[in-house]
Amino acid sequence: MAHKILFDLLLSVAIFCVIDCTRKSSNPLSVPSSNDQKGHLQQSRSSNKSSPQALAHFIANSTNPPSPMEEGVFVNQKHSWVAGFHLKRTKDGAQHWEEMTPVPEDEALFGNVGQQYLRPFFLTPMRGWLIAGEGTWQTDDGGSTWQLLFPRGSDLPAFADERHGWIDVVASETTDQSYITNDAGETWRPCGAQRDDSRQMPAGVAYFLTSKIGWAITGQTRERKTIYGVAHTVDGGCSWQQLWVSKNNPDEWYTDVHFINESEGWLAGKANGSLYHTTSGGKTWNNLPLPYEGAKVTHVYFVNHKEGWIIINKTDGSAARFFHTADQGQTWRQLTASEVLASDRIPSKWNAGQLLRMLYVAVPENHE
């Protein structure tokens, strides 16, 4: 499944400069138990001197701030990571930025950062994951060293809270496997049956309302064409039930999904530009109007039935923009630069919004 989705999404990356590409690899992945996985990580981290391939060491160098066009992860008011073909972090609220690269002797293990697409996710300032090339890496020291966690690769993890998370891992050329954690990523264990590419499978983006209840964007590729949809889980991601497939809009692909309860949610589409709303838990979706024709929605967040925000990226290289609605998405108003910079205008729990606000702080000339 993963290697087939990759072709379409890499084309989309080249066209739209986004990061929602999936993963592909060619080396077999064993499926260890929770204890085996924990032992593997602990053994590798403790035996770095005798096993130089266990860890990739990174160094930090001062660099220019990333553009508000770029994407990454907001950890807290001081820590954020942004990546594409370069990996950057801030540890002081965007006052200074560092570019992270592997030490020369570890490039053979990790690869050249500038030649592979990178996607980071951090749960805390110290613990995070990085999709890089054909593998998924984990750090427990803020990015100074990275342990290869899943050699075949995976999607980024999705966490319901600070302890409970889910990740979709490549198990073979045609199958994926769910892994879950209930200890903040200290250990991961496989759960549920492996999923094959004969049907829709989670394809990179998921949202969990609770530790058990969540939704994922799915995809199925046939003859270089991928059709996307939405699936639902009630057991933390171990099993998924397909709810909806986007057959009426086959050229669209989706970048974000968000729910405020078990019935009402939103789905953001980037390729054609669309925003969908459901009140049936994801079984049916209705189009919402957008601020202008051809808007490329990358993120959506609602705090209640009426009030929400979207982020729209432009294809001309200008900064991404915030839009706000107070009438269920029937009309949208763009936030001014002063509103974006005001700490109380962006929901504090919306990590994508907080990251873009931080990038506005970092690059003042891109505010307007």
Tell me the sheet residues that pair with 221.
226
Q: Considering the chain, what is the average pLDDT of its residues?
A: 84
Residue 7 has pLDDT above 50, yes or no: no
Q: Are 45 and 152 in contact (CB under 8 A)?
A: no
87-108, pLDDT tens digit by residue?
999 999 999 999 999 999 999 8
Domain hosting residue 35, numbered range: 30-151
Asked if the structure places residue 129 within a domain, the reply is yes
Asked if the structure places residue 113 within a domain, the reply is yes
How many angstroms separate the CA atoms of 173 and 62, rounded? Answer: 39
Asked if the structure places residue 132 within a domain, the reply is yes
Asked if the structure places residue 327 within a domain, the reply is no
Specify the pTM. 0.84
Tell me the sheet residues that pair with 81.
73, 89
Asked if the structure places residue 217 within a domain, the reply is no
**What is the reported pLDDT for 271?**
73
Domain count along the chain: 1
Maximum mean pLDDT: which of 29-38, 76-85, 245-254, 353-362: 76-85
Asked if the structure places residue 366 within a domain, the reply is no
Percent of all residues in the chain with a pLDDT value above 90, rounded to a whole number = 64
Select the more confidently predicted residue: 320 or 309. 309
Asked if the structure places residue 175 within a domain, the reply is no
Provide the H-helix boundaries in 47-153.
Answer: 107-110
Q: 153, exposed or middle or buried, with CB in 10 Å at 0-12, 13-18, 19+?
A: buried
205-224, pLDDT tens digit by residue?
999 999 999 999 999 887 77
| Encoded amino acid at 232, one letter | H
Percent of all residues in the chain with a pLDDT value above 70, rounded to a whole number = 83
Residue 31 has pLDDT above 60, yes or no: no
Residue 298 has pLDDT above 60, yes or no: yes
149-173, pLDDT tens digit by residue?
999 999 999 999 999 999 999 999 9
How many angstroms separate the CA atoms of 291 and 273, rounded? Answer: 11
Return the HEC string of 324-366.
EECCCCCCCEECCHHHHHCCCCCCCCCHHHHHHHHHHHHCHHH
Select the more confidently predicted residue: 101 or 225. 101
> pLDDT confidence of 18, banded at 50, 70, 90?
very low
169-209, pLDDT tens digit by residue?
999 999 999 999 999 999 999 999 999 988 899 977 999 99
Asked if the structure places residue 116 within a domain, the reply is yes
Residue environment code for 254-277, b if the CB has 16+ CB neighbours within 10 A, otherwise e: bbbbbbeeeebbbbbbbbebbbbb
Task: Give whole-number Cα distances, 239 to 168, 176, 229, 242, 247, in Å.
Answer: 11, 12, 16, 10, 23
Q: Are 27 and 152 in contact (CB under 8 A)?
A: yes
Residue 255 has pLDDT above 70, yes or no: yes
> pLDDT confidence of 8, banded at 50, 70, 90?
very low
Phi, psi of 289 (to 5 degrees): -65, 150
What mean pLDDT do residues 226-234 have? 94
**What is the reported pLDDT for 195?**
93
